[in-house]
Amino acid sequence: MNSKLVNNLLKFDREHICHPYTSMKDPLPVYPVASANGVRIRLMDGRELIDGMSSWWAAIHGYNHPELNRAAREQIEAMSHVMFGGLTHRPAVELAEILLSIAPAPLQKIFFCDSGSVAVEVAIKMAIQYWSALGFAKKQRLLTVRSGYHGDTFGAMAVCDPETGMHGIFKDILPKHLFAEMPMAGYAAQWDERYIEGFKKILAENHESIAAIILEPIVQGAGGMRFYSPIYLKRIRELADEFNVLLILDEIATGFGRTGTMFACEHAGIEPDIMCIGKALTGGYMSLAATLATEKVSDGISSGEAGAFMHGPTFMANPLACSIALASVRLLLSSPWKEKISAIEDQLKEGLAPCAEHHNVQDVRVLGAIGVVELKSPVNMEKIQKKFVDRGIWLRPFGRLLYTMPPYIIEKEDLARITGAITEVLREGGHV
């Protein structure tokens, strides 16, 4: 690729294009990508990087997958999009059928939307509209925990961790919800009922104004990559029933096998009233998400004055995205995904174990195909990113977290290169 073209691209990008959470005045460097195939991302200068991020939990089958490509091509030949008001189509119906067959059994209604954040907005609106329809107009607030992340739109932002979710900047416009302390029991911790006391107290005191509890099940992702006890989640389900509030689970990051079960709520053996999915839904090909609900919730909503759920995006159930998602879910179900994720888990545990010895490491943890090295001090993103790129690895550390969630198709040797690079970069230092 000619270097003048690359430089021009980078110059325009730097001067005009926003990147996620990046200064527009003094942006961090970005690496121009020419193509991606399997677990390899090829940069425009010809270098190849092993992907340790699955493009933020999404590309579970790797890039440029022939079956997903075929689904996209065939669907484009038929139709890329038609409106969903008054029309329906096979990709949406078949995708809905397969999703409802793998989701927790009581979830039998599905709302397709554009992105994870919108799926969360839809979930919140469903919960509030449900109670309003039943005559509980006061039930409008949400209860959640600190260190959570649910997206960047206003409704979603209002249930993100108050600090990392920037509640200070938007304080006059964000709805005021309730926050309990973050779950303190780690995944395998011995259960102590005191872990849930604070949460229970807030719920007991405020349940008359609470429509729903919203949580990321088992793994708190962007808010700190923390794994918490399935018993905590089980107790939350019980408390939601006891105090008559709905339970919304945000499986946008954890869904489709990432934690070792199809959905993370299965670790706790519980079922939500409303569930959000996204990210890996299309195998990382395009943006599509969905909010699933029980009959109880959907019947409640439809019995209200409005008579219908009040939401309807232009690109709802986009046929192209639905076809690719259908191919992606079928591909997952036809693969030995459980064994593969369990093998990745074992290898991550072994490969990252030496990091625990490092003086700047607070904790090393692994769950399913997620490996996390939590440092004691924040990394310098630019420096550390370059160190990984120089070693042929694509990772995107943030704050005090070095983490990987590779595509499920990754081979042993490539995963060893990722864990090896993390260990080496830590040992080498100069990244904080």
Ligand X SMILES: Cc1ncc(COP(=O)(O)O)c(C=O)c1O
What does the binding site for ligand X look like in residue numbers (CB under 6 A)? Answer: 56, 115-117, 120, 149-151, 216, 221-222, 250, 252-253, 278
Can 232 be counted among the known catalytic residues? no
Tokens 């409008």 correspond to 140
Q: Is the dihedral of CA 273, 276, 280, 281 positive or negative?
A: positive
Cβ proximity to ligand X: between 133 and 320 the closer is 320
Position 199: which residue type? F
Residue closer to ligand X by CB (options 155, 300) is 155
Q: How far is the CB of 253 from ligand X (least distance, A)?
A: 4
Name the minimum Å distance from CB 316 to ligand X.
15
Catalytic-labelled residue, pool 109, 279, 408, 414: 279
Q: Cα 212 from chain centroid?
A: 20
Q: DSSP readout, 53-94?
A: SHHHHT-TT-BS-HHHHHHHHHHHHH-S---SSS---HHHHH
| Bridge partners, 361 (sequence order) | 375
For the bound state, the minimum distance from the C-beta of residue 150 to ligand X, rounded and expressed in Å, comes to 5
Taking the complex as a whole, the smallest distance from the CB of residue 120 to ligand X amounts, in Å, to 6
Contact 31, 382 (CB under 8 A): no
Min CB(161)–ligand X separation in Å: 12
Active-site hit among 63, 125, 130, 149: 149
Identity of the residue, 61 or 150, whose beta carbon is nearer to ligand X in the bound complex:
150
Q: For residues 219 and 341, which CB has a smaller minimum distance to ligand X in the complex?
A: 219
CA–CA dist 70, 323 (Å, integer): 10
Residue 279 annotated among the catalytic residues of the structure: yes
Tokens of residue 310, six digits = 């009040």
The verdict on whether 387 is a catalytic residue reads no
Nearest 5°: CA angle at 108, between 106 and 113?
Answer: 125
Out of 250, 285, 403, 408, the active site residue is: 250
Calculated CA dihedral for residues 6, 7, 10, 11, nearest 10 degrees? -150
Active site residue 187: no
Taking residue 102's Cβ as centre, other Cβ atoms within 10 Å add up to 13
Are the CB atoms for 398 and 225 separated by under 8 Å? no
Residue spans of alpha helices (H) in 181-222: 197-206
**Of 11, 21, 45, 346, which one is the catalytic site residue?**
21
Residue facing ligand X at closest CB distance: 116
Nearer to ligand X, 56 or 398 (CB): 56
Residue carrying the six token digits 């927790």: 104
Residues with a known catalytic role: 21, 149, 250, 279
